[in-house]
Structure 1
Amino acid sequence: MHYKLGLIGYPVQNSLSPWIHEQFLKKADIGGNYALLEINPKKSFENELQQIKNNHYDGFNVTVPYKKQIIPFLDDLDDGAHAIGAVNTVAWQNGKWVGYNTDGKGYVTALGHAHPSIFQHKQCRILLIGAGGAARGIFYELAEAGFRRIDIANRTQSSAEDIASLGDGKAKTSILTLKEAENNLKMYDLIIQTTNIGMKPNVNDAIISLEQIDRRSIVSDIVYQPIETHFLQQASRIGASVHHGHTMLLYQAQYAFEIWTSKKVPADDLNQPLQSILEGR
């Protein structure tokens, strides 16, 4: 079988998803190609999406700004995507277009590979910074994984409260302002930055100061351009362990590939090559 895969979003021309999935196709020893399917927001999303469907794709990824917009045009959602309210992976299955969300699963898997000890301590305290789409997926999957204390710090309290409801009572959650979080960092074992603050070209930006963190904590940033964000640089200077964002990109792709092909290919050995590509950009 020759798989026809792709990525829709805007802009997508600098995406590394084609490289990642080409590696997966080689590992699985199956034919296929992965195309960039850029949809300009000035065009009709419905018409552009229908053309993609008519071209008989086996599946495609979805990135900004269409992760929520695509939902009404799908036939079904899996439970996770339905709860999170966003889709990043679509598969043609049994005559239907089915939406999934692998972002949170990819993050949790990446965290487990980098810092397995955190999964032996489900009572640890986690701080999630930000309340956007990425935060929704990460919160949902952390709660599903059994973590019992996940606080959220965000500028807008209502957005954070909406995410807290995703836990369905599985995790206890307090909503903090960014300043409150900054002043209470010592109480957290894992701090996750989920916004795009610090992304190129604004590499000197950080959403909060980490001066108050405990050096035994793990500090994570989902931004991967640059690899070593200002947020992570702060943590490293204090002596805390850091977790880089590009690994989430890798493992969410691994889950998407498995949905499309029913093949779970190893991804660990792509971590360093992917980092090298990103550092060269």
Structure 2
Amino acid sequence: MSILHLHLVSDSTGETLESMAKAGLSQFEGVEAVKHFWPMVRSEGHLDRVLDEIAARPGLILYTLVGGAVRARLETRAAAMGLPVVAVLDPVVEGLSRVLGREAKARPGRQHVMDAAYFRRVEAITFTMAHDDGLLADDWEQADIVLAGVSRSSKTPTSIYLANRGYKCANMPLVPGDPTMQGLLTLKKPLVVGLTVSAERLIAVRRNRLTALGRGPDDSYVDPDGVARELMMARRLFADRGWPVIDVTRRSIEETAAAVINLYNQREEPAGVVG
């Protein structure tokens, strides 16, 4: 097992660095990364203190610093210490600059400003939390997206992930005989997406849920015949209504959410626009 000290130096919160480091590390096996977070580094004095700490635990430095003097000092001192440095956003910013034909605005933390998009995310999260698991069905017409599926088909975590991306979501558990399901059939504005899953995977997830609740494994909730009927009912409903369907059996929450966003964008794309 290799041990890597990974220093994440940012002039903002460091969230971007953390996400990119996680994505990069996922490509390597047998590596234990010890992450050191150094956020809000906006002065040379602060940087010097950080570099003294880095010198005690040398490793790879990933950074997002837009301040010219601070950035130059980091690169100079890192070179003097023989430490590798990577400016993770440079290729993206340079590519955008070439395509757009303009220079980037060097403003620390610009992606975290409380602009209209920020408040849309807050509104989306508030809406989504209030409309989880079939709640407040009378308000579903205000949603951007409504997820439907049998119990334990990843509706809630997918909804929350989408809300963090700025989409107002509601989700509805499909239970045979539940009159609330009728609310789905009259929706006009929201994109309704059906989530399905293999019976084997669903039973395993439900068994884990029952164990966590201290209930016995012979509960009808995990009866194979009952589960098969639930899934058949859901698939029939999706097909009858012409709703797009995503099989979440082998998908992570992020992958499911990405597929939902693609469906939403395709529906919202103006007619005649070729991507």
* TM-based fold match above 0.5: no
Which one has the largest radius of gyration? 2
Q: TM-score range by the shorter chain?
A: 0.3 to 0.5
TM-score of the two chains, using structure 1 as the length reference: 0.32
Higher relative contact order (CA 8 A, sep 6+): 1
TM-score of the two chains, using structure 2 as the length reference: 0.33
